[in-house]
Structure 1
């Protein structure tokens, strides 16, 4: 980066349906930020802190009907509250950018829309738990549902400890998620940017870097 006043640490979340490639893109973005002299941490939801990781196991494994929609939303919010307090805010306070694989938009999409609890209900729950805290930028990786689920299935088949509880929900649930994410992006265009994820990994990363540069006035490479 140019030799000037350090940029205030930023919080970036990556969102999208199953198999969108968020984890890969976060790693690549972290590597690029490092090359620009910007320290960062990579984290995820549900999870990201010791307590939240314990809750993660309850949420991403087991039968698809393991929890009622309200219980699921409360567990997600509990994990997120711990994550913010134990990991995200401390990192930002030490001038590290935070790159997060999912954040509260996932609750709006999965529990609000997919589980039919409603957007207002989920937003009120989040506000009660952690007030107005939100990412500076949210990148929504969008691709056709069938492509994403095929990618996710291939990924899970390579694991010995499957975390596919949400992936096993029916196709209509995932179509609802995709529509919900696009609605979120339409409602908050300043914070949320849609990135076409049915491209090569390198093409997606190029687009992400361009968005980050423009959003935070970073110099071109």
Structure 2
């Protein structure tokens, strides 16, 4: 199945504003006349949403990092088959809140030395990187306070605390340096409108 669309992802620590900025970009691109699919991970398809509830709710120690890698990869494969690939094949822009980089950081770096496992499974079962990735960067304490302030049941990873958030921030910045062709680091600790304006400028340059 050939792909004529473009795939844009948002990454960063919890509370960095990924969902807000992904939605803002999707709305801007739609307003400019592009066909856009806004989605998220884990989730984005019926099967993947079921797995989302398993991995984001409950006790922080509910799953080992190894089990999480398998669950996230299973959710991602279903998401890829049911949502991402069909949209790209139809020439649409897919804007996704998190993708494989989150698994590389959360399970592959911060909870054990499992990056090679994550990459091997990704190559075997996913085989697709984004065309453009925005890494939203902010101090871990600020992000954690924002994330905890949302409330709700999906706080399993926030419950690991600020130390893990700091390790994740470092992990995302390292990934941005590893993949400079597709990653753009955006300072997210400022007014959402200013962040959105910078993201729009970078995205429009990439999509031109």
- TM-score range normalised by the length of the shorter chain: over 0.9
Deviations 1:63-97 (A, max 9, x none): 00001110011000000010000100011111211
Structure 2 residue aligned with 1:48 = 44
Q: Structure 1: 5+ residue runs without aligned partners?
A: 1-7
1:141 corresponds, among 136, 139, 147, to 136
Q: What SS does the aligned partner of 1:198 have?
A: coil
Bigger Cα Rg? 1
Q: What SS does the aligned partner of 2:10 have?
A: strand
Structure 1 residue aligned with 2:146 = 151
Deviations 1:201-220 (A, max 9, x none): 10000110111122222xxx
- The reply to whether residue 21 of structure 1 matches residue 17 of structure 2 is yes
2:116 corresponds, among 111, 117, 120, to 120
Question: C-alpha separation between the residues in 1 aligned to 2:33 and 2:92?
Answer: 11
Q: What SS does the aligned partner of 1:116 have?
A: coil
Question: C-alpha separation between the residues in 1 aligned to 2:174 and 2:18?
Answer: 19
Contact 1:44–1:100, Cα closer than 8 Å, also in 2: yes
Deviations 1:11-63 (A, max 9, x none): 00000000011111111111110121101011000011010000000000000
Which consecutive aligned stretches of 4+ in structure 1 deviate over 2 angstroms post-superposition? none
2:204 corresponds, among 210, 213, 218, to 213
1:197 corresponds, among 161, 168, 188, to 188
Deviations 1:121-170 (A, max 9, x none): 21111111122x111000000000000010011112xx4xx100000002
Matched residue pairs, number?
A: 205
Structure 1 residue aligned with 2:92 = 96
Q: Structure 2: 5+ residue runs without aligned partners?
A: none
Structure 2 residue aligned with 1:168 = 159
Structure 2 residue aligned with 1:60 = 56
1:85 corresponds, among 73, 81, 97, to 81
